[in-house]
Structure 1
Amino acid sequence: MDQFSAMQTFRRVVDLGSFSAAANQAGVSHTVLSRQVKHLERHLGTQLLTRTTRRLHLTEAGALFYRHCVQILEQMQAMTLELSEHQQQPTGTLRLGVSTAFGELEMGRWLPDFVERHPLLQIELHCSDRFVDLLEEQIDVCLRVIDHLPDSSLVARRLTASEVVLVAAPRYLERHGTPTSPEELVNHPLLGYSQLLHPQRLQLARDTGERCEVLMPRRLSANSPMALRAAAIGALGIASFDRFIVHDALEDGRLVPVLGTWMLPGRSLYAVYPQSRYLAPKVRALLDYVQAYYSQARW
C-alpha cells in the first residue's frame, strides 16, 4: 500500500465530507478511494471513519490521525516546493533595502560580484534611513546596522559586528587640542546624528569595566551620516560613526581615533526579511552571499 497516497485520499475524503465528492475531485471511482481507506485502517489497526447513509464521521482515532495527516502532508508539500525552488537559478527582481550610508559605501564593494554570479537577477535598491515596512513596501531583504532589534514577526540573521568609533580630523585636533579623558570632551563640539534619541550623549566604557556618560555641546546635527562624515573630515568637530562609514578615512588619515582606549556601545549588521515557510531562490542567494562575505573582517 502507498501510505502517502492513502493519507492524501483520507484527508480529501474528510475535507470534502464524502467518498463521492473526493472521487469526483480526484477523477477516480468511489470504489478505489473506499478501498484505499480500508487498507489504511487495516494497516493502522483501527477504524478511522464511521459511515452512515447520509454522511461520514471521524472516530476518535480518525480525528487524531487526521490532525497528523494535515501536518505531515503540508510539511511534505513545503519541502517539495523548497527543494524544487532550490534547484532553480535565482531570477526576477530582488528588492533590497539599505541605509543611505550603507548603500553609498558598501554596496559597490560586493554587489557587482553578486550580480555577476546571478545574471538572471535584477536588483532594485531602496536606500532610506527610516525603518521601512518590508511587507507593505514589498522589500525582500533589508540590510541594517542597528544596536537592537525591535520585536516583530520578521526574521533577522546577524552577519557581523559593527564597531562604533569616536573620530576627528587631525586639523581639528591641532587647532583645539586632543582630549585625553572623557571629561575633556565637554570642551569639544559633537557632530550629532539627529535621528538618535539623545544625539549629544555619549556612553563610554573601558576594558577595566570603568564607564561614564558625557553630554557634549552641539555644533552641528544632521539626519544624514554622510553629511556628518563630510563635516568631521572638514574639521568641524568630534563625531561617532559605525566604522564602515569612516573606515577609508581612518586608513588614509583624513580622520583619526579619539580616546582610543575608550569604547562606545557596538552594533551589528543584520539581514532582515519576512518570515516564510520557504525562501525564494533570489532571497536565499543573497543571504548566503552576504553571510559568507561578512564572515571575514571587513572594517
Structure 2
Amino acid sequence: MAIFAKVVEQRSFARAADELAVSKATVSKAVTRLEARLGARLFNRTSRRLALTDAGRALAERAQRVLAEGEAAEAEVQAQSGSPRGLVRLAAPMSFGLGEVAPILPDFLRQYPEVSIDLHLSDAAVDLIGEGFDMALRIAALPDSSLLARRLCPVDRLVVGAPAYFDRAGRPRHPHELGEHVCLGYAYLATPQAWTFSHRGGEAASIRPAGPLRANNADALMPALLAGLGVAVQPDFIVRQALAEGRLEAVLTDWSPPPIALHLVMPPGGPRPARIEVLSTFLARRLVRRGGADAG
C-alpha cells in the first residue's frame, strides 16, 4: 500500500523506486500484487503517461495515510539525531508562485539543506491526492472538501486599465457601465462568464464581460492592459507595481469582487513527516507576513 502511494506521489514507477531505494521491478511487482489482491486495476499505463483509474483514485487517499504514518514514524526517529530530509511536492498558482513563492525558497533551502522541493506552477487546481502532492497554495474562496486548509491572508482584486484607455473610453462609476467596456477575462474565475461586485453600502451588481481576450493566467492579460486595449479584474500582487508607476489605474474602488484569500492546503491525515511540517510552517510565516503588509 505504501509503495502504491509512493508511485502516486511521484507519478512514476522509476522515481518511486529511486525514492524508496529499491528496484523498479520491486515497485512494479508490489503494485501488481496489490491489484491482484483487490481485483482491480489501479493505473492506466502507457509508454508516456501514468494515470489513476477510478479504483486507484478511491484507494489513493488511504494509501497516502499509510505512507504518511510510516514516514512520520521514521521522521520521529530521525528528529532525534538529524534534521528534516527528503522531497516535498508543492503546487502553487503560476504568477503567485513566480513572484511570491520562488523568491523565498532559497532561504528555506539554506535553512534545511537536506530537504528538496518539487515546485509545480499552474493556475489549475491540482488533485493533491491523485497527483501525489504534499501541499498546495491556492488563491480562491475554497469550497468545502476533505482537504486540510489554512487561510493565510486575503487577496484583493481590482478593476484596472491603462489611463489612456480610460481617457478614451471613460471611467466607469458603476459596475453596470462595464458592460459598455472592452473586458479582458481570466479563465479560472469562479464565474468567468459573469463579473459580480458588492458595494460598501450593500448593493450588488453583475455584468457579462465581453472582449477579445481571455487567458488562464492573469499575467498573460498584462500586455493587453498596458497597451490600453481594455479593463480586467486583477489580483493586487500582479498589478501592484504597474499601479505605483502610473501605468495602470484602478476604478470602481468602492466596489469589490467576491472575497478570495491565499490558503495552504494539504491532504487529510497525519502525523506528517518533518520535511512537510517545516515547509508548511515556513510558507505560512513568510506569506502571512506578506499578506499582512498588503492587507493592512
TM-score by length of 2: 0.68
Aligned-pair CA distance for 1:294: 2.5
Is 2:130 the partner of 1:130? Answer: no
Residues 3-23 of structure 1: per-residue CA shift (max 9 Å, x gap): xxxxxxxxxxxxxxxxxxxxx
1:281 is aligned to 274
Aligned-pair CA distance for 1:287: 1.2
Aligned-pair CA distance for 1:276: 2.3
1:89 is aligned to 83
2:263 is aligned to 270
Aligned-pair CA distance for 1:81: 6.5
1:219 is aligned to 212
Length, aligned pairs only: 222
Aligned-pair CA distance for 1:105: 1.7
| Stretches of 4+ aligned residues off by more than 4 angstroms | 77-88
The runs of 5 or more residues in structure 2 that have no matched partner are 1-69
Equivalent residue in structure 2 for 1:204, among 197, 201, 205: 197
Aligned-pair CA distance for 1:229: 2.5
Is 2:152 the partner of 1:159? Answer: yes
2:167 is aligned to 174
What secondary structure is seen at the aligned counterpart in 2 of 1:93? strand
Look up the equivalent residue of 1:108 and give its one-letter code: A
Residues 199-240 of structure 1: per-residue CA shift (max 9 Å, x gap): 242211121112111223223112222211332222221101
Is 2:251 the partner of 1:254? Answer: no
Equivalent residue in structure 1 for 2:137, among 143, 150, 169: 143
What secondary structure is seen at the aligned counterpart in 2 of 1:219? coil
Change in Cα spacing, 1:254 to 1:275, as seen in structure 2 (3 Å) is same
* Structure 2 Cα separation of the partners of residues 86 and 161 of structure 1: 34
Change in Cα spacing, 1:141 to 1:197, as seen in structure 2 (3 Å) is closer
Instruction: Indicate conservation of the 8 Å contact 2:92/2:136, yes or no.
Output: yes
Look up the equivalent residue of 2:148 and give its one-letter code: V
Change in Cα spacing, 1:174 to 1:133, as seen in structure 2 (3 Å) is same
Please give the root-mean-square deviation of Cα atoms over the aligned residues, in Å. Answer: 2.3
Change in Cα spacing, 1:254 to 1:115, as seen in structure 2 (3 Å) is farther
Is 2:107 the partner of 1:109? Answer: no
* Structure 2 Cα separation of the partners of residues 86 and 257 of structure 1: 50
* Structure 2 Cα separation of the partners of residues 93 and 254 of structure 1: 41
Aligned-pair CA distance for 1:194: 2.5
* Structure 1 Cα separation of the partners of residues 72 and 214 of structure 2: 51
